[in-house]
Each structure stands twice: as C-alpha cells, then as structure tokens.
Amino acid sequence: MMAFLTALHDSAVSTWIRESESVWAFPTVLTVHTLGMMLLVGCAWVMDLRLLGVARSIPIGPLRPLFRLMWAAFWINLVTGVLLFIADPERKATSLLFGFKMLLIIVNLPLLRRLERAVYGEGPEPAAVGRGTRQLAAASAALWAATIFTGRLLGYM
C-alpha cells in the first residue's frame, strides 16, 4: 500500500500539481474545488433551510433542480479532490483528519439521496415535509458544515 502511495507521489501528475510554479497547477485545482464546494453546500443550505421551515412560502416542487446542481458540483469536487489527493498521497492517506472528512462525505451522500427521494420520490407533486425529512435535512446540513471545517483544517496539518 505504502509502495503504491510512494509511486503515486513520485508520478508525473502528482509532482506537477504539487511542485509546478504554474498557477494552473495546485492553485487552480484548489480554487475549482472551492468553487464546487460553494455551489454544492450553497444549494444544500437553501434546500435544507426550506425543508426545516424557513421561508415556507417557497414552493418545494420547483426547487428540485437544486439537487441536479448539487450533484454536478459533487462530481466537480470528486475530480478535483482526487487530484488534490494525488498531489499529496502519503500524508493524506495516513491522516486521521482526512479519513474523518471522507467518512463525513460517505455518510452524507446517501442522506442526500434519501432526502431527494423523500421529497420528490412520490409522483409529480412533492411529498409533505414530515418529521423524518426535517431530521434528514438537519443531519445533512450539520455534516456539510463539519466537512467544510475538516477540509479547511487539512490545509494546516
């Protein structure tokens, strides 16, 4: 495993992202990762706030495209996240903080799916927002906040 990580670390892609002086290397990958975060979590806040009872006059049905935006942003961040991992594989793979961040995301993704299905899964009209949906929204929002914190802290490890 360690040998693989070392080989990854020494690969051309990893070296370029990590060591290139070009602004298109590490800085741009990191900025696109931030852009994806802004879009993913920004849309998630709006959806979760509405489901938690803020601005109840917003009809829930037309909000559905927010989920498509969130998934698009998620894929952007998966790609840029993998690139950031490749740039620094040995330290990331052995970091408890990094593992914790991955855990938060792995728990949150099925929550996001379940939330989408709970609200929009039953026919053309959105389902009434029940207690279960509100709990899902609150849990998902808390996990996003925790993910941002751990992600941000990774920059200081």
Residues of the shown chain interacting with other proteins in the complex, contacts defined by CB under 8 A: 23, 26-27, 30-31, 34-35, 37-39, 41-46, 49, 54-55, 57-59, 61-63, 65-66, 144-145, 148-149, 151-153, 155-156
The three-class DSSP label of residue 120 is helix
**CB-wise, 65 or 110, nearer to other proteins?**
65
**CB-wise, 68 or 132, nearer to other proteins?**
68
| Contact call for residues 49 and 145 (beta carbons, < 8 A) | no
End-to-end Cα spacing for the chain: 22
Minimum distance of other proteins from residue 89's CB (angstroms): 22
Q: How would you label 132-148 residue by residue, b for 16+ Cβ within 10 Å and e otherwise? A: ebeebbeebbebbebbe
Minimum distance of other proteins from residue 44's CB (angstroms): 7
Nearest one of 70, 44, 45, 143 to 102, comparing CA atoms: 143
**CB-wise, 12 or 23, nearer to other proteins?**
23
**CB-wise, 35 or 139, nearer to other proteins?**
35
